[in-house]
Amino acid sequence: MVLPSVVVVDDAPEVRALVRTVLEVSDQLTVVGEAADGAAAVDVVADLQPDLVLLDVSMPRMDGLQALPRIREVCPTSRVVMFTGFAEQGLADRARSLGAVGFLEKSASLTDLVETLLDAVSTGPVPVSPTLAAQTDRLDAAVLAEHLERFREVFEDAAIGMATMTLCGHLVRVNRTLADLVGRSVKDLVGLRYDTLAGADLVAEPLRRILDGEDVVRVEHDLVGGERSVVATFVSVRDSRNRPLYVFLQMQDVTAQRGAEEELRRSEERFRLLVDAVQDYAIFMLTTDGIIASWNVGAQRIKGWAAEEIVGRHFRAFYPPEQQESQHPERELEWAIRDGRYEEEGWRLRKDGSRFWANVVITAVHDADGRHIGFTKVTRDMTERQEMLNHLAAMNRKLKNAADQQADFLAVTAHELRTPVSVLSGSAKLLSEHFDELTETDRAELFESMGSSALRLRRLLDDLLTASRLQSGTVEFRVSSSELAPLLAAAVSRAQGSNPGARITMSVPPDLVVDVDTDRIAQAVDNLIDNAVRHGTPPVQVTAVGTADGVEICVSDAGAGVPAEQRSQLFQRFATGQRRTGTGLGLFIVRELARAHGGEARYEPPTADQPSGAFVLALPRVDRDVA
C-alpha cells in the first residue's frame, strides 16, 4: 500500500526532525521532503507534488501565509495544513481563505498531528485542533490554562495596540486597541502585512534587524491616510536556542504628542523669528557659566560681533577691563540667581573696542522642574539717551548760570540806577526847597550833577535797549562814511563831562574815514572809555591807526591790565569782574556792534610797548582826502 506523502516546512530543524520521526514511526505517512522557509517550500512542493504539506506560519524570508497561495498554485492537489504556535481563530479563518484544509497548533499532541494529517487526506478540511492545555493530562494543565487566559485578557484589554507577527511581517493576532487605532476590525487585520497599515515598505528594515540579532526595534510613522502618527515597537520572541520565532508588536498613538511638539516647535520658531527681527535690543542666552549660547540681529547691530564670532565665548568680553578685573560680570550672574533678575546701566564694549552706555537686564532661567538652566540677557544701547541727559544737564547748568547772571545783573543795574536817580532827586529837592538860599556856584554845581546823572541814566538805558535789540536781532543801522577824528573827540568830551577831573588824551590821524553808524560806534567808544575811566588807572589814552584791513581804535590806561583769569569773559553779557560794578553790558555791546559792522573787538594783554594792555575796536575803513 502506498502511504500518503508529506512535505514538512518549518524554520526550526529540530521541529522538522521531530515531526519527520513521528510521521514515519506511525507507519501511516511518509515524509518525502523538507523546507526551512516558504520560498524553499514552494520549490520542494513543485518538484515532489506531495499529498500533504505541513506548513509553519512564522518563518524568515517568506512566511506560511505568503507561501500558501503559491504552493496551491504549483501543486493544486496538495492539501496544506497550517502548523503554528499562534492560537487565533482569525488566523485559522485567514489560512482557510488562502486554501489551507487544516490548522494545527504546535501545542497539540503528536497523536493529533498524525490524525489531523490523515483526516486532511481522507475527508478534506477539519476543525481547528484543541490546544495543548485542553488535551494534556498533565497536573499543571489547569494552571497553564489560567495563565494563558490571563495573558489573553491583558492582551485584549491593553490600552496600547498589540499584535503578533510572522517574521515576514504578517499580522496573526491583533487586539481591539490596535484595531481601533488603525480603523479596522480585528478579523480584517489578521493575515495582512504590516506595510498595509504604514502605506510603505516599512516593516522590512525592522524585521531584518531582528533577524540580525536585535531584540527591540522602534519605528515612528504615519498610518495610511496620514491622520495619525504612531510609534511601532517590534520585539523579537525567540526559542531556547535564541532563534527568532515571531515578532511581538506594540503600537502607540503619538498624534497628540507630535501635534503638541510641532506646535511647540512652531511657537519656538515664531519666538526665534521675533527675537531675530528685533534690532533695537541685543537678546541672547547664556549658559549657567555665562557662555553665550545664542545671538540675535539686534545683538550684532549693537555690539558688532557676528554670531559665529561670539557664540561660545564668555559674556565678560562685553565689559571694560576694569570691570573684568573686579569680576563684575560673574557677580551679575550671582545676583540674578539670588533675586531672579538683575538690572543696571553702565559702560559696555563693542567689538571695535568703543564704549557705549547700556541698559542691561539679566534673568535667571529655570526649567519646569525648577532647575537652573541658564540666563537671558537683554541689552539696549542708551548712548543717545545718556548724551541727551548729559546735554540737558549741561543746558540746565547754563540756564542756572544765566539765571544767576540775570539776578546779578538786576542787582548791579539797580545799584547803577540808584546813584544817578538819587543825585537827580536830591538835587531837584534842594533846588526846589532852597533855591534862594543857595549861592550861584552851588546852584551851578547841582545843575551840573543833574546833567551828569541824566547822561549816565541815558547811557545806561541806551545800553539796556541796545543789548536787548542785539539779542533779538532787531538793531537798525544807518551806515555812512564818517571821519574818525571828530567822532572820537566827541566821545572824549562826553567822558570828561561825565567824569570831571578825568585825564583822557587822544591821538588820531586826521585822514581816517570809516563806513559806520556813527551813533552806534559812538556808543561803543563811549563804553570803552567809560570802562577805562571806571576800572583803570589815569591817564586814559585813546588812539587810532590805519591797518591793511581797516581802522583800529585803541583805549588803554596806566593800570596793570585785566587779570588773566578774567580775560575769557570780558566780552560776555553780564560780565562785571571781581568788583561787580557796572551792568556787565558795556563790553558785550562793544563786541556785538563791532561785529555788526564787519569788524571785531578784542583785548590785547600787556606787552613791553603797552604795559597795561589795551581794548581794541577794529572797523572797516574808507580812504579819502580830507579838505
Going across the sheet that includes 504-507, the strands are: 504-507, 540-546, 551-556, 614-619, 600-604
Record the cell numbers describing residue 624, joined without a space: 579819502
Check if the beta carbon of residue 476 is closer than 8 Å to that of residue 520.
no
Which residues, including other chains, have CB under 8 Å from residue 250's CB and lie 6 or more apart?
Answer: 160, 161, 162, 232, 233, 235
Provide the CATH topology of domain 278-381: Beta-Lactamase (3.30.450)
Q: What percent of the chain has pLDDT over 70?
A: 85
Handedness of CA 331, 332, 335, 340 (dihedral sign): negative
| Mean of the per-residue pLDDT values of the chain | 82
Could you give the C-alpha distances from 28 to 76, 114, 156, 193, 416, in angstroms and in order?
A: 22, 8, 41, 37, 151
* Most confidently predicted of 63-77, 81-95, 234-248, 394-408: 63-77
Q: Give the pLDDT confidence score for residue 26 in this predicted structure.
A: 82
Q: Give the pLDDT confidence score for residue 130 in this predicted structure.
A: 42
Asked whether residue 439 carries a pLDDT value surpassing 80, the answer given is yes
Q: For residue 569, give the DSSP letter.
A: G
Amino acid letter for position 363 = T
Q: Give the pLDDT confidence score for residue 576 in this predicted structure.
A: 56
What is the spatial distance between Cα 484 and Cα 130, in angstroms, rounded to a whole number?
A: 145
Check if the beta carbon of residue 117 is closer than 8 Å to that of residue 3.
no
Check if the beta carbon of residue 134 is closer than 8 Å to that of residue 154.
no
Strands, DSSP E only, in 493-568?
504-507, 513-516, 540-546, 551-556
pLDDT digits (tens, 9 = 90+) for 215-267: 889 998 888 876 788 899 999 888 777 888 888 898 888 888 877 777 767 76
Q: Give the pLDDT confidence score for residue 86 in this predicted structure.
A: 67
Q: Give the pLDDT confidence score for residue 88 in this predicted structure.
A: 61
Task: Determine whether 91 is exposed, middle or buried from the number of CB atoms within 10 Å of its CB (0-12, 13-18, 19+).
Answer: buried
Return the half-sphere exposure (C-beta side, CA atoms, 13 A cut-off) of residue 586: 24
Q: Give the pLDDT confidence score for residue 408 in this predicted structure.
A: 59
Q: Give the pLDDT confidence score for residue 139 in this predicted structure.
A: 35
Q: Give the pLDDT confidence score for residue 237 in this predicted structure.
A: 85
Q: 5-135 with 158-258: one CATH topology?
A: no
DSSP secondary structure letters along 211-248: HTT-SEEEEEEEPTTSS-EEEEEEEEEE-TTS-EEEEE
Task: Determine whether 515 is exposed, middle or buried from the number of CB atoms within 10 Å of its CB (0-12, 13-18, 19+).
Answer: middle
Check if the beta carbon of residue 459 is closer than 8 Å to that of residue 451.
no
- Structurally, at CATH architecture level, domain 387-465 sits in Orthogonal Bundle (1.10)
331 vs 269: which has the higher pLDDT: 331
264 vs 170: which has the higher pLDDT: 170
CATH number of 158-258: 3.30.450.20
Asked whether residue 52 carries a pLDDT value surpassing 70, the answer given is yes
pLDDT digits (tens, 9 = 90+) for 259-273: 777 776 776 666 566
Residue 527's pLDDT band, with cuts at 50, 70 and 90, is confident
Asked whether residue 602 carries a pLDDT value surpassing 70, the answer given is yes
pLDDT digits (tens, 9 = 90+) for 502-512: 899 999 998 89
Residue 486's pLDDT band, with cuts at 50, 70 and 90, is very high
Which residues, including other chains, have CB under 8 Å from residue 249's CB and lie 6 or more apart?
Answer: 161, 162, 163, 164, 165, 171, 178, 194, 232, 233, 234, 235
Asked whether residue 150 carries a pLDDT value surpassing 60, the answer given is no
Return the half-sphere exposure (C-beta side, CA atoms, 13 A cut-off) of residue 204: 5
Q: For residue 183, give the DSSP letter.
A: T
402 vs 411: which has the higher pLDDT: 402
Cα of 93 vs its chain's centroid, Å: 65
Least confident range from 67-81, 134-148, 595-609: namely: 134-148
Q: Which helix (H) or strand (E) holds 610?
A: none
Residue 384's pLDDT band, with cuts at 50, 70 and 90, is confident
Residue 280's pLDDT band, with cuts at 50, 70 and 90, is confident
CATH number of 474-619: 3.30.565.10
Q: What is the mean pLDDT of residues 370-374?
A: 94
R_g of the chain computed on alpha carbons? 59
DSSP secondary structure letters along 443-485: HHHHHHHHHHHHHHHHHHHHHHHHHHHHHHT------EEEEHH
Record the cell numbers describing residue 24, joined without a space: 514515519
Asked whether residue 42 carries a pLDDT value surpassing 80, the answer given is yes
**What's this model's pTM, rounded to 2 decimal places?**
0.39
346 vs 389: which has the higher pLDDT: 346
Amino acid letter for position 438 = L
Going across the sheet that includes 229-238, the strands are: 171-174, 161-165, 244-253, 229-238, 216-222
Least confident range from 150-159, 390-399, 451-460: namely: 150-159
Residue 138's pLDDT band, with cuts at 50, 70 and 90, is very low
Check if the beta carbon of residue 449 is closer than 8 Å to that of residue 423.
yes
Handedness of CA 96, 100, 106, 110 (dihedral sign): positive
Q: What is the mean pLDDT of residues 417-446?
A: 83
Q: How many CB atoms within 10 Å of residue 248?
A: 16
pLDDT digits (tens, 9 = 90+) for 474-483: 778 888 898 9
Q: What is the mean pLDDT of residues 1-9?
A: 88
Which residues, including other chains, have CB under 8 Å from residue 268's CB and lie 6 or more apart?
Answer: none
Asked whether residue 410 carries a pLDDT value surpassing 80, the answer given is no
Asked whether residue 134 carries a pLDDT value surpassing 50, the answer given is no
Q: Tell me whether strands 244-253 and 161-165 are parallel, antiparallel or unpaired.
A: antiparallel
The domain 5-135 is placed in CATH, from the list 1.20.58.1000, 3.40.50.300, 3.40.50.2300, 3.40.1190.20, at 3.40.50.2300
Asked whether residue 144 carries a pLDDT value surpassing 60, the answer given is no
Record the cell numbers describing residue 84, joined without a space: 503554528
Q: Give the pLDDT confidence score for residue 114 in this predicted structure.
A: 85
Q: Give the pLDDT confidence score for residue 368 in this predicted structure.
A: 86
What is the spatial distance between Cα 264 and Cα 261, in angstroms, rounded to a whole number?
A: 5
Q: Cis check for the bond before 13: say yes or no (omega within 30 of 0).
A: no
Residue boundaries of the structural domains of the chain: 5-135, 158-258, 278-381, 387-465, 474-619
